[in-house]
Structures are given as structure tokens and as C-alpha cells.
């Protein structure tokens, strides 16, 4: 019992953290034109209603998660699920330290670890189209992608030197849904990161020249001016599921019907 109690408390903290302070926001259903066309001659996608976390998952939240799911500690995780840099900036396997403050977004987490966290928090990783649509918003519009200010702000973030300490989450302005940090803080895992650059045109299947990442992506990109989004797609597509990165974190999503009572 003495052994179980800390695990239960950690679980409780994780649940309350997800349900109360960091609640999810309802978005959609929506039809929109993503930057990558879903198929030749088809420009729009339908995204069913979903919910998305207001904030990226923080170091503090992820620490609570590994306390109740110790198989995801950096000293115990199977190498199939995370590379050697997984949580390497934490002071110890179970301690954050100076380089990982509780309110900073958790980074250096693999896709498998992000998925396990979201599953434990009653959700899942968002799909790319869900993420792209949520991140198309600014403070006033749900689709600000044609706004030069929207693009410039993101490109300014890309231009910032890597290696600087990350700010805490929720530091900037929330978008029109009340969601923070979709742009300008970290890269974020999506469930289907490995599918983004697969060409939508089946005629290219089997043609090695056209199966190259850039070729396939360029083939199906319908908004070639949208560098901010294309850069994000290129970044995600180059990852493996066990990859980690200094500015690569995540947030969770959920179906509408999964709302906790």
C-alpha cells in the first residue's frame, strides 16, 4: 500500500492537471484547404470535431507521468521507443534540475513516449490536419494563414538561434480558441508524422525518383508560398518515431465524446 500511494497520487495529479488547469478546447468540425493536398484533384479535407490541449505538455507534467509509468524513465525506456538523447537534459531519470524547469515544455521526447503520455491522460496525439487547422488561427481569425503578420511571426521564430533555453508555456497570447504556443515555442509531434510526405498520387508509387521526400512533398503541395507550414511538414517527415529533439515536444488531443464527467 505504501508503495502504491505515490503512484496513485501521481496518477491523480496527472488527471487533474489534464482535466482542470490544462483543459482541452473543442474545435471543428471543419472543411479546409491544407497546405498538402489530400489527393490529386482534391483540395479540401474534412476534420471531424476534436479537442486540443490549451498548452504543450510541460516538464512538470511529464515528470508526474514517468513517476506513475516508470517504464518511460530515461534509464528504463526500451531503445526501440527512444533514442539516446531522450530526456537527457533532465538532472536525473526522476529529477528535472536547472535545465528542465517545471513550466517549460517537455522536449527530447520520442513519438512513442508522447503517445504513451497522451494515452495515460485520456487522449491521443493530434492528427496533422487537426494540428494544422488549430495552428492556422491567430488571436482574431480561425484561418490567418494568408496574413503576412502570421507568416512573419512564424518565420521569425524559425530564424531564432537554437540552443537557447525555452520559455515557459503560455507566455504569449492565446489564439482565438484560447490555445497557446502552437507557433513560436516548439515543434510538436503529431500521430501521423510519418505519413505527411507520402505522395497523394498513387501513380508515383514505386517510382524511386518520385518517392524522395522533397519530390513527393512538392508534388502535392498546393500552397507553395506557405513556407512556415511546409517547413514544419519537412521537419516532422524527417523524424523517426524514436527521435528526440531539443525543441521537439507535444500536446494531446481527444475525441469530443471522451470528455470526462
Tell which residue, 170, 150, 157, has the closest CA to residue 53: 170
Side-chain-side CA neighbours of residue 115 (13 Å): 12
Q: Is 8 in the site for another protein (CB under 8 A)?
A: no
Among 32, 81, 157, 235, binds another protein (CB under 8 A): 81
Show contacts with another protein in window 93-122 (CB under 8 A). 111-112, 115
Q: Is 84 in the site for another protein (CB under 8 A)?
A: no
For residues 186 and 166, give the distance between their C-alpha atoms in angstroms, rounded to a whole number: 8
Distant-in-sequence, close-in-space partners of 79: CB < 8 Å, separation ≥ 6: 242
Q: Is 197 in the site for another protein (CB under 8 A)?
A: yes
Q: Is 79 in the site for another protein (CB under 8 A)?
A: yes
Q: Is 88 in the site for another protein (CB under 8 A)?
A: no
Q: Is 202 in the site for another protein (CB under 8 A)?
A: yes
Q: Angle 245-229-204 (CA atoms, 0-180°, nearest 5)?
A: 95
Considering only the stretches 14-22, 134-142, 195-203, 244-252, report the one whose residues sit in contact with another protein under the rule CB under 8 A: 195-203
Task: State which residue, 17 or 28, has the beta carbon closest to another protein.
Answer: 28
Query: Per the structure block, which three cell numbers stand in for 238?
Result: 524527417
The answer, yes or no, to whether the previous bond of 165 is cis (omega within 30 of 0) is: no
Query: Per the structure block, which three cell numbers stand in for 155?
Result: 518565420
Q: Is 168 in the site for another protein (CB under 8 A)?
A: no
Q: Is 42 in the site for another protein (CB under 8 A)?
A: yes
Among 122, 241, 246, 256, binds another protein (CB under 8 A): 241
Among 148, 161, 178, 208, binds another protein (CB under 8 A): 208
Q: Is 161 in the site for another protein (CB under 8 A)?
A: no
Q: What is the DSSP letter of 203?
A: G
Query: Per the structure block, which three cell numbers stand in for 196?
Result: 505527411
For residues 259 and 261, give the distance between their C-alpha atoms in angstroms, rounded to a whole number: 6
Task: State which residue, 38 or 256, has the beta carbon closest to another protein.
Answer: 38
Distant-in-sequence, close-in-space partners of 30: CB < 8 Å, separation ≥ 6: 46, 47, 133, 142
Q: Is 86 in the site for another protein (CB under 8 A)?
A: no
Residues of this chain that interact with another protein (CB under 8 A) are 38-39, 42, 78-81, 111-112, 115, 124, 191-192, 194-200, 202, 205-206, 208, 211, 240-241
Amino acid at each position: 500500500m505504501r508503495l502504491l500511494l505515490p503512484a496513485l497520487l501521481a496518477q491523480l495529479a496527472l488527471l487533474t492537471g489534464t482535466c482542470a488547469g490544462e483543459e482541452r478546447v473543442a474545435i471543428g468540425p471543419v472543411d479546409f484547404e491544407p497546405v498538402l493536398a489530400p489527393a490529386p484533384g482534391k483540395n479540401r479535407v474534412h476534420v471531424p470535431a476534436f479537442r486540443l490541449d490549451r498548452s504543450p505538455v510541460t516538464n512538470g507534467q511529464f515528470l508526474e507521468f514517468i513517476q506513475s509509468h516508470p517504464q518511460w524513465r530515461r534509464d528504463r525506456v526500451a531503445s526501440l521507443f527512444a533514442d539516446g538523447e531522450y530526456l537527457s537534459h533532465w538532472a536525473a531519470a526522476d529529477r528535472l534540475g536547472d535545465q528542465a524547469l517545471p513550466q517549460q515544455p517537455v522536449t527530447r521526447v520520442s513519438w512513442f513516449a508522447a503517445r504513451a503520455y497522451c494515452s495515460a491522460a485520456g487522449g491521443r496525439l493530434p492528427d496533422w490536419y487537426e494540428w494544422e487547422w488549430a495552428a492556422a488561427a491567430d488571436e482574431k481569425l480561425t484561418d490567418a494563414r494568408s496574413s503576412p503578420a502570421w507568416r512573419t511571426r512564424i518565420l521569425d521564430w524559425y530564424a531564432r538561434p537554437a540552443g537557447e533555453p525555452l520559455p515557459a508555456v503560455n507566455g504569449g497570447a492565446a489564439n482565438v480558441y484560447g490555445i497557446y504556443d502552437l507557433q513560436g515555442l516548439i515543434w510538436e509531434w503529431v500521430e501521423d508524422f510519418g505519413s505527411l510526405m507520402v505522395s497523394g498520387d498513387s501513380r508515383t508509387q514505386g517510382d524511386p525518383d518520385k518517392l524522395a521526400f522533397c519530390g513527393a512533398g512538392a508534388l502535392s503541395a498546393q500552397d507553395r508560398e506557405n513556407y512556415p507550414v511546409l517547413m514544419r511538414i519537412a521537419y516532422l517527415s524527417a523524424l523517426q518515431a524514436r527521435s528526440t529533439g531539443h525543441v521537439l515536444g507535444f500536446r494531446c488531443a481527444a475525441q469530443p465524446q471522451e470528455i470526462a464527467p
